[in-house]
Amino acid sequence: MLTVNHFLQLAPFKTFKLVAGANGLENDITGVNILDNPNASDWLSAGELLITSGYFFSENTEIQKRFIQRFKEINCSAICIKPHIYLKGIPQSMRDLANELALPIIEIPYGIAFSKIMNIVMGEISGRMNERNQASLAIHSQFFEISLHGGGMKKIAASLAKMVQNPIVLIDSDWSVIACNDNKHPLIQETIKKIGNTFTFPIEFFTDLPTNFERIKKPITRPFFFAEKEYPCVIVPVYFDTVHYGFILVVQIERPLIDFDYIALENGSMAFALEQIRLFEIERTENRIRRDFFDHLLSGQIKDLDALATYDTPIDPTLNYTVLILSLQKSGIQTDSLMKKKQAEDRIMKSLLSSLTSYTANRFPHLHLFSRKNQLVLLLGTDPKSSAFKTHNELSDTAERIRMYLEQQGPAERNFFCTIGSTLPILELAQSFEEAKKVIQLLENDSKEEKIYFFDDVYFDSFLVDSISKEQGKKFYTHYLDTLLTYDLENKTNFTLTLKAYLAHHLNIATTSRALFIHRNTLLYRIKKIKMLLPVALDQEKNTFALQLALRLYDLHH
């Protein structure tokens, strides 16, 4: 390898002067880069020899120190500075810090072109590429064996940690920890946060990550603070063929990374992506098989118990079953791209299905589930001898526990609501499924103040929607409410809402005024106006029923 010491011994560089960082003379030089843009430091790589005029840190001592620190975190081999244009001399503060960090600072004589330095260094390095290629091939073979034999993420993390001699964390695209190898130091275990059954790496530790930096496909280095001490942390995006699989994190506790370590990380990221693809395909296949069975069952294609027995399923045909559908009402995803939102929702549902499967395995032995779009479909078995009251309570309790568990698995703004069909024998489950879906349809424009809805609670609404067409419903409510609705629209009043509350409280002035939080006299005034606007008298029972029906049809079809 070409070291900083060898570089200074080359004939063209005999006049170069080492001014600081003598303890870093054995640093390996793996490349060369010109840097005069302060925002380009994320594009630097370990082992690079930096050439700069010092323009971007020429006037500020704190900026000088910050960049020297950053170059050390990246593990650059040395810094060559031409100080005669912007820097009158290399400041003592820079020299002191470079000495402390063992980062060589080399003064370039006036008149030496940057391009000449680059050409000579790259020529020297190219003669040493065979050693690098051999190392890359050996590392590739190790990861190929891991992938070939299904070693899994833990094996990938362990192999990487051994190669780079530092703790390794594998993280998915949502910063959930997949695998961690931190045997010598409890650094990661003490840092990651547990949310439900998921361990999440605290991304807030890194305050200045570039936007969409995973697409850069290049490692970047950021400081990682633990126990009041700072460690350089290398973050490697795993991004192939427009798909972001996650990150590899290396916390440099044992030693700085060298060029061969980055070769290992590059090969490790490929193994990471292949393993993620393999796991996704296995899960997708299992879910498709499970979903196909449930599709047949819930569409009524399985007609008898003999046909049911041909499927490899743990469903107990002696139990009654109920369909519960948990719908993702609000995902908490912030993006303007419909494609990105759909991809993010798919990842969420895949993660939730896996997490919920583990959560329910022992707690609810007669519960079966699968996912479809942004919904989780559950089949809960109950004892057919149980009373309707007991079964209802069991369904309510199960639905609430599962709903709360799901909402705890992600951001606070993520919301689910649950719809529940009738409890029926296994071969009649298609009806329960249709009922649960019908509840979702009826709630489409509802604010969903409640979180759990039974079909029995909306049976009347379902009957109205199925029995009365939209055109007939509109004709009916227009006959009774058109004048009132028009008056509200033109005068910005809420008499329609007042009428609904008045009818709901059986024409009782006291309870209606309390429910609407208005004074009794205000309600009396409104009722007087409403009576003038309605085509029928409010004091006749048949009219109150007709008005309630008209208001309900208006809500359902408007």
The pLDDT tens digits for 63-93 are 888 888 888 888 899 999 887 777 777 888 8
State percent of the chain over pLDDT 70. Answer: 91
Please report the sign of the dihedral spanned by the C-alpha atoms of residue 271, residue 273, residue 279, residue 281.
Answer: negative
The confidence score (pLDDT) of residue 349 equals 81
pLDDT exceeds 80 at position 163: yes
Residues 14-35 pLDDT 10s:
889 999 999 999 888 888 988 8
Q: Report the alpha-carbon distance of residue 20 to residue 139 in Å, rounded.
A: 35
Q: Report the alpha-carbon distance of residue 203 to residue 222 in Å, rounded.
A: 11
pLDDT exceeds 90 at position 224: no
pLDDT exceeds 70 at position 364: yes
- pTM given for the model: 0.55
Q: Report the alpha-carbon distance of residue 39 to residue 91 in Å, rounded.
A: 22
In degrees and rounded to multiples of 5, residue 435 shows phi and psi of -65, -45
Tell me whether strands 415-425 and 320-330 are parallel, antiparallel or unpaired.
antiparallel
Residues 189-212 pLDDT 10s:
667 665 555 677 777 777 777 777
The confidence score (pLDDT) of residue 337 equals 67
Please give the DSSP secondary-structure letter assigned to residue 181.
Answer: E
Among 40-49, 163-172, 441-450, top mean pLDDT goes to 163-172
Cβ neighbours, 10 Å, residue 266: 17
Q: Report the alpha-carbon distance of residue 131 to residue 2 in Å, rounded.
A: 12
Q: If 0-12 CB within 10 Å is exposed, 13-18 middle and 19+ buried, where does residue 529 land?
A: middle
Pairwise pLDDT comparison (527 vs 84), residue with the higher score = 527
Least confident of 297-301, 359-363, 551-555: 359-363
pLDDT exceeds 60 at position 102: yes
Among 57-71, 198-212, 226-240, 521-535, top mean pLDDT goes to 521-535
The confidence score (pLDDT) of residue 322 equals 96
Pick from 81, 80, 76: which is nearest to 31 by CA? 76
Residue 127 tokens, joined? 């003669």
Cβ neighbours, 10 Å, residue 435: 23
Q: Which amino acid is at 278?
A: R
Which helix (H) or strand (E) segment is 245 a member of? strand 243-251
Please give the DSSP secondary-structure letter assigned to residue 109.
Answer: P
pLDDT exceeds 70 at position 290: yes
pLDDT confidence of 186, banded at 50, 70, 90? Answer: low
Pick from 451, 245, 242, 209: which is nearest to 329 by CA? 451
pLDDT confidence of 353, banded at 50, 70, 90? Answer: confident
Least confident of 95-99, 293-297, 404-408, 529-533: 404-408
Give mean pLDDT, residues 28-54. Answer: 83
Pairwise pLDDT comparison (182 vs 181), residue with the higher score = 181
Please give the DSSP secondary-structure letter assigned to residue 378.
Answer: E
pLDDT exceeds 90 at position 103: yes
Residues 494-511 pLDDT 10s:
999 999 999 999 999 999
Q: Return the SS3 of 295.
A: helix
Pairwise pLDDT comparison (344 vs 236), residue with the higher score = 236
Q: If 0-12 CB within 10 Å is exposed, 13-18 middle and 19+ buried, where does residue 217 land?
A: middle
| C-alpha torsion 279→282→286→292, nearest 10 | 120
Which helix (H) or strand (E) segment is 403 a member of? helix 388-407
The confidence score (pLDDT) of residue 187 equals 60
